[in-house]
Amino acid sequence: MALIQSPVLPFRPAVGVHALALLLMELQPGADGPQILTADALYQLGRVEEAYRLLLNIEHTAPRPPILARLAILQLHRGFLYDAYQLLKKLINSGDTSCLRPLLSVASLLDRALLEKHCHTASKRILCGQQAESAIREAVAYLSIAIMASGGGAIDSLLERARCYALLGQWKTAIFDFTAILKEHPDHVQALCGRGFTYLMLNQQKECTLDILVALQCGAEEVTQSMLSLKDKAQKLVSEWLGQHCRSSLSETLSANPVPCREELLREAFLIGGALMNTDCREPRWHLLYIDTLLAKGEVNAAGAHLKQVFGQEPRDAAAKARWGVVKAWQQNYKVAANYLSVVSEKEPANLDFLITLLQSAQRKRLAQAASQQASSVSESGQWEQALALLTLAVRAVNEMKLQYLRQRAACLAHLGLHERAVSDLNKVIQGHSADGGEEQRVWAEDHCRRGRSLLLCSHEESGLQDFSQALDLHEEQALLCVEAGLGTQRLAEMFLRFALQNYGQQKLDKAWLLTETGLKVDSGHVELRRLRSRIKREVSGPCIVN
């Protein structure tokens, strides 16, 4: 039983232990235990030289970790730093530093501090010289002793050891050390960055982003420097993750709050945007993110100034040009705004939807009106692609709430041969029909005719004919005008005939009769339809009942 396993002893118990140890030495001459116990008691009594000589005699005969550990501390106490270093090196090479833990419970605070400082300095010296795996492992051993000597509170040593573990690929162990620091110091920027970058190596996006974000709130400049110290691939990835988080967060803020948003809601976005621009000022997306945040705050002039500085007054980049559209809308120049924003409406619909949230409700309505008017103008000169982009902007600006813009876009899509999309728009229009009659019956009939035509042209013939039938029931005159202006009465009548014959052949006489009658509404003089009607009438009225 050695004194080393006991708590710190006051002077009187140390005297008693020393007497007992001397007795044990007499009873067990040459045994290590009593001699080590005597040395520990002498150390407690302040008789360091005697303890050193006693341990030195034992060490010469059998150098073991418990003896090496005691000699190292005594040499530190005596001021012989080189000797202490050599002894600690032997202890580390032995592979057993656990014997230090009970020894430190009886060591003085001063000697523990000396041991902590000496080991931390030794680790720095090793790491400064080389980055080989063996050197890093040796540095970890010294740092572990420093942490042990401090009672686990050596922040610098924990931080350094965590970095070493990360270099060795022991990422989860590194995270454990970083977390130990953050438990006591939750705003420690280097520990937050270190843990965040370690999560990066583990491809844990959420955890990495959260740590870097907290670090930014504690010290943005220090975080920027840490990001700049990363290798290019890692720096780009952590920037991507921060950018994605900021975009998502900004979108959520704008969907829940009208512009201009309160400053506290945008603080995080400004922090991230600033850090990303400082990390890579050549990346356009980070500047666009910062501009969007300024617009969300309502700082239109500042957004315009930054936009002009980075991209110019007339940028070629579509995303930058679209931001000018937002600025122009805030400045009530809706015609120019519509032209600028339309450049992303068809190619980047998600981007368009986000940019629209940067405008107030009244601005969106005025923008939609301007886009619709511009579309009418350019379509007259045959610029259908541009008209489509403008109409998509109009539709999205009012969130598909105005049926007229959907009708207008459906007509444009049909002209471009994009019938599936035209049908989609007309579906929404027809779903918006109310139960009231009056003049609207004429408009509704036209909607069904337009959808019917597009359905027929994209091979949904049966559904298309149903639309024409419904249009004729709603307002026959208007439906016939639409047919004449579109497919033509003869072509549509032929389609009704074909489907009527098909149903007649399957002995679905009721359905064949309805198709024939509707076809004759389209073209009352159609010979084949009239013949088919007569045949169906004869069969229905004949003596045999056909099931």
Q: What is the DSSP string of 294-308?
A: HHHHT-HHHHHHHHH
Q: Which helix (H) or strand (E) holds 106?
A: none
Domain ranges of the chain: 1-107
Residue, of 55 and 383, whose pLDDT is higher: 383
Per DSSP, helices labelled H in 95-231 are 100-104, 109-129, 133-149, 155-167, 171-184, 189-201, 205-228
Q: Which fold has domain 1-107?
A: 1.25.40
pLDDT of residue 55: 75
| DSSP secondary structure string for all residues of 429-456 | HHHT--S--TTHHHHHHHHHHHHHHHHH
What angle, rounded to 10 degrees, do the helices at 284-297 and 232-256 form?
Answer: 20
Rg (CA), the chain: 42
- pLDDT of 51 higher than 70: no
Q: Using CB atoms within 10 A of its CB, is residue 453 exposed (0-12), middle (13-18) or buried (19+)?
A: buried
- pLDDT of 544 higher than 70: no
43, 205, 249, 481, 493 from 273: Cα distances, Å: 59, 18, 12, 57, 63
Confidence of residue 541 (pLDDT cuts 50, 70, 90): confident
Phi, psi for 388 (deg, rounded to 5): -60, -45
pLDDT of residue 450: 97
pLDDT in tens, 366-379: 999 999 999 999 99
With CA atoms as reference, report the closest residue to 194 among 214, 174, 220.
174
Pairwise CA distance, residues 284 & 510, whole Å: 65
Q: Which two tokens stand for residue 334?
A: 């809706």
pLDDT of residue 545: 44
Burial 99-114 (b: 16+ CB within 10 A, else e): bbeebbebbeeebbeb
114, 400, 452, 469 from 462: Cα distances, Å: 91, 28, 9, 11
Q: Token match 């039938």: residue?
A: 469
pLDDT of residue 546: 43
With CA atoms as reference, report the closest residue to 162 among 150, 180, 147, 175.
175
Geometric angle at alpha carbon 15, from 11 and 17, rounded to 5°: 115
Q: Which two tokens stand for residue 123?
A: 């680790």
Least confident of 2-16, 36-50, 92-106, 430-444: 2-16
pLDDT in tens, 406-422: 999 999 999 999 999 99
Pairwise CA distance, residues 307 & 325, whole Å: 11
pLDDT in tens, 280-326: 999 999 999 999 999 999 999 999 999 999 999 889 999 999 999 99
| DSSP secondary structure string for all residues of 45-75 | TT-HHHHHHHHHHHHHH---HHHHHHHHHHH
- pLDDT of 39 higher than 70: no
pLDDT of residue 443: 94
2, 22, 32, 342 from 28: Cα distances, Å: 14, 10, 9, 96
pLDDT in tens, 456-494: 999 999 999 999 999 999 999 999 999 999 999 999 999
What angle, rounded to 10 degrees, do the helices at 189-201 and 205-228 form?
Answer: 120
What angle, rounded to 10 degrees, do the helices at 334-345 and 384-397 form?
Answer: 100
**How big is the chain, counted in residues?**
547
Q: Using CB atoms within 10 A of its CB, is residue 189 exposed (0-12), middle (13-18) or buried (19+)?
A: buried
- pLDDT of 18 higher than 60: no
Confidence of residue 101 (pLDDT cuts 50, 70, 90): confident
pLDDT of residue 87: 86
With CA atoms as reference, report the closest residue to 493 among 467, 460, 468.
468
Average pLDDT, the chain: 89
Say if residues 455 and 467 touch (Cβ distance below 8 Å): yes
Pairwise CA distance, residues 505 & 327, whole Å: 64
Cβ atoms < 10 Å from Cβ of 172: 9
- pLDDT of 84 higher than 70: yes
- pLDDT of 357 higher than 70: yes
Q: Token match 């190292």: residue?
A: 72
pLDDT of residue 50: 73
Pairwise CA distance, residues 520 & 468, whole Å: 12
